[in-house]
């Protein structure tokens, strides 16, 4: 049995209101590691309240108390802690959820071992859990495949200043999510560490992070589900306090993408105003190689509006909280759409049938916060939808359901529904 949340949209299909977006967990988690490596403490304002960030806070707070650390479902915690703990005195056992134990970590471990780290696998080779004997690392030159996860690279970069010889990383392959690498380097620069990135080589000299207080930006990834709402609405406008176009987040490109879809964004000192001002095209093409976290919101928004599309850059989606390709395929079929690979690196989102929607459509979430948040806005087209395991949004956006309620959606929580496909 799974919990089921019934989401009903405003009858007129009009969306207006103010959305208080959460703090960026991506920035929050990087700043937490920087603070842990900094010799002096400093205040962090507007720290993310997401489950991911709380997991990392708990792990860092417990480092000196217990050597058994559980990263849960949190990919950033697992990857960032692997490098961080490798530089700390002591022996650590780093584990995670069953899904985390299926997510490869060998490229990061291999790179750290080249730098002198003492890390071994406790169960399956190449996957968590890990046994880490922390020690001072010498640093030096390494090569790593940049086409698997940018978090591996960010994890190494964050510890680079503390290494005796600094770090020089040669990136092989085609980088994915390089905007997140730029975010990491940007934050390191804010705390006094400079890097040189030329072609496929990133070099960081030994140094010390300089403490100063910081306020975490509002989350652009979280805004994507409300831009999706506007695209699915009859008309409407939303105000996002504190959301800025001058952002370290690569997902800031969202407002430009939706600008091509009829959603106009205007920025002021107070935040961002987004309004549906015109219609949308019937066919679009997007590459998610730099912004994979936007793929689910875009796919569901397009299917809900009968927009067919070509997607590129989905290669990392199967390695996320769930296999997001399979998850999307499983839920898009309920809307009469398919997501199919056509040739290497190219996926086609297209209408395959007129769905029979006499019954309420219930969407599975696959233990993935982004699936839950991407499917809920479809209530605007279907009147009402069911979302299984709605608590999963706590991973990144604990206030998501409250935000929907505040702009006119009705929510009914029923813990006794059986999990069946509609």
CA distances from residue 367 to 3, 227, 390 in whole angstroms, order as listed: 12, 23, 9
Tokens, residue 22 = 């959460």
Number of H helices and E strands in the chain, helices first, is: 13, 22
Among 65, 54, 56, smallest CA distance to 92 is for 65
Give the pLDDT score at 42.
97
- Letter string b/e over residues 325-345, b meaning 16 or more CB atoms within 10 A of that residue's CB: bebbbbbbbbbbbbbeeeeee
Give the pLDDT score at 418.
43
> 173 pLDDT band (50/70/90 cuts)?
confident
Rounded to whole angstroms, how far apart are CA atoms 357 and 377? 16
Q: How far does CA 422 lie from the centroid of its chain? A: 28
Give the pLDDT score at 1.
61
What mean pLDDT comes out for the span 410-422?
A: 62
Rounded to whole angstroms, how far apart are CA atoms 21 and 223? 7
pLDDT tops 70 at residue 20: yes
More confident residue, 196 or 146: 196
User: In this structure, how many other beta carbons lie within 10 angstroms of the beta carbon of residue 152?
Assistant: 25
Rounded to whole angstroms, how far apart are CA atoms 336 and 352? 6
pLDDT tops 80 at residue 31: yes
- The H-or-E segment that residue 327 falls in is helix 324-332
pLDDT tops 70 at residue 355: no
Q: What percent of the chain has pLDDT over 70?
A: 96
Q: Nearest-5° angle of CA 320, CA 291, CA 175?
A: 80
What mean pLDDT comes out for the span 44-73?
A: 88
The burial class, CB within 10 Å (0-12 / 13-18 / 19+), for 31 is buried
pLDDT tops 90 at residue 379: yes
pLDDT tops 70 at residue 81: yes
pLDDT tops 70 at residue 346: yes
Model confidence over 205-241: pLDDT tens digits?
A: 999 999 999 999 999 999 999 999 999 999 999 999 9
> 359 pLDDT band (50/70/90 cuts)?
low
pLDDT tops 90 at residue 65: no
Give the pLDDT score at 357.
54
Which domains, from first to last, does the chain contain?
A: 4-22+219-414 (3.65.10.10), 25-215 (3.65.10.10)
Give the pLDDT score at 419.
42
Beta strands in 43-156 (DSSP E): 44-45, 68-70, 90-95, 118-121, 130-134, 140-145
306 tagged catalytic? no
> 67 pLDDT band (50/70/90 cuts)?
confident
Give the pLDDT score at 192.
97
Whether pTM exceeds 0.85: yes
Q: Which of 52, 293, 368, 389 is catalytic?
A: 293
Q: Mean pLDDT across the chain, nearest whole number?
A: 92
Contact at 8 Å (CB) between 52 and 29? yes
Model confidence over 385-411: pLDDT tens digits?
A: 999 999 999 999 999 999 999 999 999
């Amino acid at each position: 049995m799974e919990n089921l949340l019934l989401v009903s949209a405003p009858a007129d299909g009009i969306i207006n209101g103010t959305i208080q977006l959460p703090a960026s967990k991506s920035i929050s988690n990087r700043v937490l590691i920087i603070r842990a490596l900094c010799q002096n403490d400093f205040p962090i304002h507007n720290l993310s309240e997401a489950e991911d960030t709380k997991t990392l806070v708990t792990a860092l707070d417990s480092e000196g108390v217990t050597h058994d650390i559980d990263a849960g479902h949190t990919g950033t915690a697992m990857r960032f802690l692997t490098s961080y703990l490798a530089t700390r005195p002591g022996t650590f056992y780093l584990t995670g959820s069953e899904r985390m134990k299926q997510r490869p970590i060998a490229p990061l471990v291999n790179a750290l071992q080249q730098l002198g780290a003492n890390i071994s696998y406790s169960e399956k080779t190449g996957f968590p859990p890990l046994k880490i004997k922390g020690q001072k690392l010498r640093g030096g030159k390494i090569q790593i495949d940049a086409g698997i996860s940018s978090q591996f690279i960010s994890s190494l970069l964050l510890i680079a200043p503390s290494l005796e010889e600094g770090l020089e990383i040669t990136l092989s392959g085609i980088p994915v999510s390089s905007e997140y690498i730029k975010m990491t380097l940007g934050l390191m620069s804010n705390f006094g560490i400079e890097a040189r990135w030329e072609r496929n080589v990133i070099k960081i000299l030994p140094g010390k992070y300089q403490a100063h207080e910081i306020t975490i930006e509002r989350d652009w990834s979280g805004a994507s589900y409300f831009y999706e709402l506007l695209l699915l609405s009859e008309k409407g406008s939303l105000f996002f306090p504190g959301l800025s176009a001058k952002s370290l987040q690569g997902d800031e490109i969202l407002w430009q993408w939706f600008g091509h879809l009829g959603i106009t964004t205007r920025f002021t000192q107070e935040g961002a105003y987004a309004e549906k001002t015109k219609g949308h095209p019937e066919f679009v093409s997007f590459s998610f190689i730099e912004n994979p976290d936007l793929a689910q919101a875009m796919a569901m928004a397009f299917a809900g509006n009968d927009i067919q599309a070509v997607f590129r850059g989905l290669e990392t989606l199967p390695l996320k909280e769930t296999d997001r390709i399979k998850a999307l395929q499983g839920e898009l079929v309920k809307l009469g759409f398919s997501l199919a690979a056509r040739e290497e690196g190219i996926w086609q989102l297209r209408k395959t049938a007129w769905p029979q929607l006499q019954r309420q459509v219930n969407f599975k979430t696959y233990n993935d916060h982004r699936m839950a948040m991407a499917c809920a806005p479809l209530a605007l087209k279907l009147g009402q939808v069911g979302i299984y395991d709605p608590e999963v949004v706590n991973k990144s956006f604990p206030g998501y359901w409250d935000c929907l309620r505040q702009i006119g959606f009705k929510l009914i929580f029923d813990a006794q529904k059986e999990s069946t496909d509609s």
